[in-house]
């Protein structure tokens, strides 16, 4: 019954539905990229700086070297979504481990892990990501790792808070009495009940990760051999005044995608919490 | 037959097409005193010692502080005296006598003398400098009979024309009393970070990543100069921001194509701004693919020729260079009279031929359509080299060479290519400076120690090439010398140890407020002693 009403609450939220639609389109485009635009999206295929809608072979025009903007956009979605999902997944995984252990065991372990978390929280995330990528070398994987390493603190704190309250509950005492091990209690008993707010936070991290990835690749700290949205914006920066669309189109793609992810995340929050949902 | 396409006709054509505001510079006899010249600096070298690293990025700032014996000039024989007032070569070609300017003082108050010239020549230019190491390798001694005479003595006859042609780039004089018994090669050397010179401006302050401030030298040797109180180089990494700063009047000058070419064409139409390629005649660049011969694939001349066949320089000229430039036919640009020749092997844009050459060399396509992978390092200094890298990657992939771009910052790029040799291909913009023996043969002569930038760090060693270069460097007869350089150009284009692609001038954007600018063939590297603000 709870499951059904959750879906109902989500599906009556117009913003969330719009977000889901846009996000699905972006995911679909990313998945279909090799079919839609086989070959290298960085290939020079047409006259440089063809304007959008000028030549129907390149509906969104071409960049300074004559590379198809639409192909770059669709392939760039792969990089953005890959980084967004992997980074968020990694951040949640680290966060759950740290938060669960800290919240469940308490005591000095909790103290130590929370001080570590605070240390990470005090360092500006983007600067740390920048430094990490500079050390690891530019690339999609290193960008994903760097973003995961700077965004796990939120999930860690939420997980810890959930664990602190849940571990007092009867069902946890019951499994303890039954002689279950710590691992079983943490991952099979408490975690499933703590997951909802963590998943909601995950969507926020995806949105942030896409933005950080774009910023890093704008600064040239991504794999120069792959099409990414940030890189496309950077490439168009030199001709911004004469050919604004080279920067504006990938910029708009980032805006739409991040907006969609945020809308879906908000929808999830509202749906998971009926009281705020009825606002 | 089509009319011959030279750089000049092409640039004039492009400039003509770009708009009526790209007109010749206005020249004034004498400007008024005072004011701050705000300049955009889009790169920031590791140090400011132009005597060690003769590169335009260093000269852009250091040439206002440290001066050479002579500089380039329009008209006459193309050379005007600076710290030297005259020079007389001996008939046997084994010595040249310089008369030095008297009454010149270093910025710290000490007298400039022939001892400084002797020290700079023997300890800095000959031992450390990228061009000087080769040019002055036979320099035996510099005699200083008095404070204003320096006699350069060579072990072998050396063409005096070459030495004189070389002076603007290689003869930056540094103070002996501040360098003696120190390690001048350290970028952190106090004199390399805050040089003391004889120039019209003193080096006041450098905040890395922010600005360089030069102040007027009130006791400059040329009376009435300099006219400007202060030069402020603002470090601006973003081309778009530089273009915007031009429009808002925040900066008055940017050189070396600090704005993108499309933006420059647009700025040329803005009232109060001028855009041109004048002032770069003596420092034309050639976009060049540098090749690491330590890679066994690239040691094969057939592979290098295949790479050249895979490239369409016409497309590059139109897109990457927006028509500002000319297709390079060889290692010497068309303006390099009397040495330049078109009678060299040429390579058409022909991907089928390129693939055939690679097959012949034994590098067949794998299952993924690729033959082998190469690491490609485009020089980050210029938009043109970065974009050439992007183009090159795609051109090479088309013939089955999987080129992977690696981006570095400027010091990292220089270290990786010229010291560590951690590259397969690099894209460079290499300068032609007046005479092949100054800037060009160093790229082909073997035996340069690792760490000397813009020289043969390519692992290329060909005894025949070395012999040709050495002969030409000591040939005193002009006609014979030219003949040797024609042979040199033929051999370069046959072997393609590195691949010249496009010869291009840079663009300057300058406000109408700036007076007396771009009046020498290498003006961004000149002393700017006569510049004033209206």
Contact B240, B47 (CB under 8 A): no
Does the CB of B387 have a partner CB in chain A at under 8 Å? yes
Among candidates A43, A225, A243 on the partner chain, residue whose Cβ is nearest the Cβ of B405: A225
pLDDT at A240 over 90: no
- Measured CA to CA, the distance from residue B229 to residue B257 in angstroms comes to 25
- Angle between helix axes A191-218 and A140-151 (nearest 10 degrees) is 130
User: Which residue of chain B comes nearest to A49, CA vs CA?
Assistant: B319
Close Cβ partners of B365 (under 8 Å, ≥ 6 residues apart): B371, B400
Residues from chain A that touch B254, judged by Cβ atoms under 8 A, are none
Q: How far apart are CA B320 and CA B323, in angstroms?
A: 8
Tokens 């250091």 identify what position?
Answer: B62
* The pLDDT of residue B5: 42
How many other CB atoms are found less than 10 A from the CB of residue A183? 8
Question: Residue A39 is encoded by which pair of tokens?
Answer: 């070959």
Following DSSP, what letter does each residue of chain A receive, concatenated?
A: -HHHHHHHHHHT-HHHHHHHHHHHHHHHHHHHHHHHS-S-TTSB-S-TTPPTTTBTTBTT-B-TT-BBHHHHHHHHHHHHHHHHHHHHHHHHHHHHHHHHHHHHH-HHHHHHHHHHHHHHHHS-HHHHHHHHHHHH-SSHHHHHHHHHHHH-HHHHHHHHHHHHHHTTSHHHHHHHHTT--HHHIIIIIIHHHHHHHHHHHHHHHHHHHHHHHHHHHHTT-S-TTS--HHHHHHHHHTTTTT-THHHHHHHHHHHHHHHHHHHHHHHHHHHH-HHHHT-
With CB atoms and an 8 Å threshold, state whether A239 touches B397. Answer: no
Q: Omega of the bond prior to B338 within 30 degrees of 0, cis?
A: yes
Contacts of B397 in chain A (CB under 8 A): 40, 43
Distance in angstroms (rounded) separating the CA atoms of residues B241 and A141: 31
pLDDT at A233: 93
What does the pLDDT read at residue B240?
84
Q: Are the beta carbons of A66 and B319 separated by less than 8 Å?
A: yes
| Helix (H), strand (E) at residue B147 | none
Where helices occur in B268-370 by DSSP H, the ranges are: 301-309, 313-319, 351-360
**Alpha-carbon distances of B111 from B104, B108, B116, B147, rounded to whole Å:** 6, 9, 10, 10
A34 touches chain B (CB under 8 A): no
User: B263, A239: Cβ pair inside 8 Å?
Assistant: yes
A275: alpha, beta or left? (left if phi > 0; alpha if psi -120 to 50) = alpha
Residue of A109, A113, A119, A81 whose CA lies nearest to A95 = A113
Q: Which residues of B touch A130 (CB under 8 A)?
A: none
Copy the structure tokens of residue A216. Answer: 């890093």
CATH superfamily of A14-33+64-276: MetI-like (1.10.3720.10)
Of B376, B412, B351, B382, the closest CA to residue B287 belongs to B382
The reply to whether ipTM tops 0.95 is: no
Q: Is B405 on the interface with A (CB under 8 A)?
A: yes
Residue B391: its chain A contacts at CB < 8 A? Answer: 44, 65
> In chain B, whose CA is at the least distance from the CA of A45?
B394
Report the pLDDT value the prediction gives residue A219, as an integer from 0 to 100.
86
CB contact under 8 A, B238 and A237: yes
Å from B240 to nearest chain A CA?
5
User: Smallest CA–CA separation between B267 and chain A, in Å?
Assistant: 10
Q: How is residue B12 written in tokens?
A: 């004039």
CATH architecture of the domain covering B70-179: Alpha-Beta Complex (3.90)
- Reading chain B (534 residues) residue by residue, the pLDDT tens digits are 344 444 444 444 444 334 333 334 444 445 788 999 999 998 888 889 999 988 888 999 999 999 999 999 887 778 899 999 999 999 888 999 999 999 999 999 999 999 999 999 999 999 999 888 888 989 999 999 999 999 999 998 888 888 888 899 999 999 999 999 888 888 889 889 999 999 999 999 999 999 999 999 999 999 889 999 999 999 998 888 999 999 999 999 999 889 888 888 889 889 999 998 888 888 889 999 999 999 999 999 999 999 999 999 999 998 888 888 899 999 999 878 788 999 999 999 999 999 999 999 999 999 999 999 999 999 988 888 999 999 999 999 999 999 999 988 888 899 999 999 999 999 999 988 888 988 899 999 999 899 888 999 999 999 999 999 999 988 888 889 999 999 999 999 999 999 999 999 889 999 999 999 999 989 999 999 999 998
**Cross-chain CB nearest to A220 (options B319, B394, B407):** B407
First to last CA, chain A: 22
Across the interface, of B262, B320, B393, the residue whose CB is closest to A239 is B262
Distance from CA of B207 to the nearest CA of A (A): 21
Strands (E), B50-161: 70-72, 79-81, 84-89, 95-100, 139-146, 149-154
Q: Is the pLDDT of residue A4 over 90?
A: no
Identity of the residue in A65, A138, A225 whose CB atom sits nearest the CB atom of B319 = A65
Neighbour tally for B211: CB within 10 Å = 17
Kindly report the CATH number that applies to the domain delimited by B7-65+199-279+507-533.
3.40.190.10
Q: Is B490 on the interface with A (CB under 8 A)?
A: no
Closest chain A CA to residue B369: A39
Tell me the chain B residues in contact with residue A43 when contact means C-beta distances shorter than 8 Å: 394, 397-398
Nearest to A43, CA basis, from A222, A225, A246, A218: A225
Mutate to test the interface with B, among A41, A62, A65 (most CBs of B within 10 A): A65
CATH superfamily of B284-504: Dipeptide-binding Protein; Domain 3 (3.10.105.10)
The torsion defined by the Cα of A67, A68, A71 and A77, in degrees rounded to 10, comes to 70
Half-sphere exposure of B296 (CA within 13 A, CB side): 4
pLDDT tens for each residue of A20-75: 999 999 999 999 999 999 888 998 888 888 889 988 889 999 998 899 999 999 99
Quote the minimal CA–CA distance from B260 to chain A in Å: 6
């Amino acid at each position: 019954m709870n499951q059904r009403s959750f879906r109902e609450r989500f599906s009556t939220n117009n913003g969330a539905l719009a977000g889901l639609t846009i996000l699905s389109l972006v995911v679909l485009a990313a998945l279909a990229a090799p079919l839609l635009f086989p070959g290298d999206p960085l290939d020079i295929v047409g006259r440089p700086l063809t304007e959008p809608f000028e030549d129907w072979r390149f509906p969104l025009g071409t960049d300074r070297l004559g590379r198809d903007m639409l192909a770059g956009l669709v392939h760039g979605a792969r990089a953005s979504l890959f980084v967004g999902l992997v980074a968020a997944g990694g951040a949640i995984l680290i966060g759950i481990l740290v938060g669960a252990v800290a919240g469940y065991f308490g005591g000095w372990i909790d103290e130590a892990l929370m001080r570590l978390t605070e240390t990470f929280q005090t360092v500006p995330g983007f600067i740390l990501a920048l430094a990490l990528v500079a050390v690891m070398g530019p690339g999609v994987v290193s960008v994903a790792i760097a973003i995961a390493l700077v965004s796990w603190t939120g999930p860690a704190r939420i997980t810890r808070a959930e664990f602190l309250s849940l571990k007092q509950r009867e069902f946890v005492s019951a499994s303890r009495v039954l002689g279950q091990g710590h691992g079983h209690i943490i991952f099979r008993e408490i975690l499933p009940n703590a997951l909802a707010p963590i998943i909601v936070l995950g969507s926020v991290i995806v949105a942030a990760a896409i933005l950080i990835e774009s910023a890093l690749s704008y600064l040239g700290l991504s794999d120069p051999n792959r099409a990414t949205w940030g890189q496309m914006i950077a490439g168009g920066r030199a001709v911004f005044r004469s050919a604004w669309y080279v920067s504006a189109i990938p910029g708009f793609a980032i805006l739409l995608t991040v907006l969609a992810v945020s809308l879906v995340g908000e929808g999830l929050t509202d749906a998971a919490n009926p009281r705020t949902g009825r606002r | 037959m089509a009319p011959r396409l030279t750089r000049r006709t092409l640039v004039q054509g492009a400039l003509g097409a770009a708009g009526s505001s790209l007109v010749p510079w206005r020249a004034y006899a004498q400007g008024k005193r005072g004011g701050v010249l705000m300049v955009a600096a889009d790169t920031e070298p590791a140090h400011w010692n132009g005597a060690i690293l003769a590169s335009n990025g260093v000269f852009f700032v250091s040439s206002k502080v440290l001066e050479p014996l002579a500089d380039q000039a329009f008209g006459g024989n193309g050379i005007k005296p600076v710290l030297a007032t005259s020079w007389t070569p001996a008939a046997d070609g084994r010595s040249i006598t310089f008369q030095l300017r008297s009454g010149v003082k270093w910025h710290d108050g000490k007298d400039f003398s022939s001892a400084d010239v002797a020290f700079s020549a023997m300890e800095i230019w000959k031992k450390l400098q990228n061009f000087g190491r080769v040019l002055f390798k036979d320099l035996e001694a510099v005699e200083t009979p008095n404070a204003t005479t320096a006699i350069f003595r060579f072990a072998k006859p050396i063409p005096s024309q070459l030495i004189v042609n070389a002076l603007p780039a290689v003869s930056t004089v540094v103070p002996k009393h501040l360098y003696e018994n120190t390690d001048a090669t350290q970028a952190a050397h106090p004199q390399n970070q805050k040089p003391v010179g004889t120039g019209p401006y003193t080096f006041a302050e450098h905040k890395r990543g922010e600005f360089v401030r030069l102040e007027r030298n009130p006791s400059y040797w040329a009376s009435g100069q300099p006219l400007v109180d202060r030069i402020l180089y603002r470090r601006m990494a973003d081309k778009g921001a530089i273009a915007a700063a031009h429009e808002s009047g925040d900066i008055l000058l940017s050189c070396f194509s600090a704005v993108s070419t499309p933006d420059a064409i647009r700025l040329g139409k803005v009232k109060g701004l001028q855009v041109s390629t004048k002032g770069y005649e003596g420092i034309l660049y050639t976009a060049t693919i540098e090749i690491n011969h330590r890679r066994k694939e690239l040691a094969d001349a057939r592979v290098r020729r295949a790479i050249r066949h895979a490239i369409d320089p016409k497309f590059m000229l139109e897109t990457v260079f927006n028509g500002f430039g000319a297709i390079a036919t060889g290692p010497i640009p068309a303006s390099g009279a009397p040495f330049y020749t078109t009678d060299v092997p040429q390579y058409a844009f022909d991907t089928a031929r390129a693939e055939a050459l690679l097959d012949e060399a034994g590098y067949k396509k794998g299952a993924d359509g690729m033959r082998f992978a190469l690491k490609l390092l485009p020089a980050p200094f210029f938009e043109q080299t970065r974009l050439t890298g992007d183009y090159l990657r795609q051109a090479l992939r088309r013939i089955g060479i999987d080129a992977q771009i690696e981006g570095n910052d400027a010091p990292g790029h220089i270290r990786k290519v010229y010291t560590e040799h951690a590259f397969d291909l690099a894209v460079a913009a290499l300068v032609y400076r007046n005479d092949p023996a100054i800037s060009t043969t160093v790229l082909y002569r073997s035996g340069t120690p690792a760490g000397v930038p813009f020289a043969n760090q390519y692992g290329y060693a060909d005894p025949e090439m070395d012999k040709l270069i050495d002969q030409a460097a000591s040939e005193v007869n002009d006609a014979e010398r030219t003949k040797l350089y024609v042979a040199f150009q033929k051999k370069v284009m046959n072997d393609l140890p590195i691949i010249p692609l496009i010869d291009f001038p840079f663009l300057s954007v300058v406000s109408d407020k700036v007076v007396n600018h771009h009046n020498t063939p290498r003006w961004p590297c000149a002393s700017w002693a006569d510049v004033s603000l209206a």
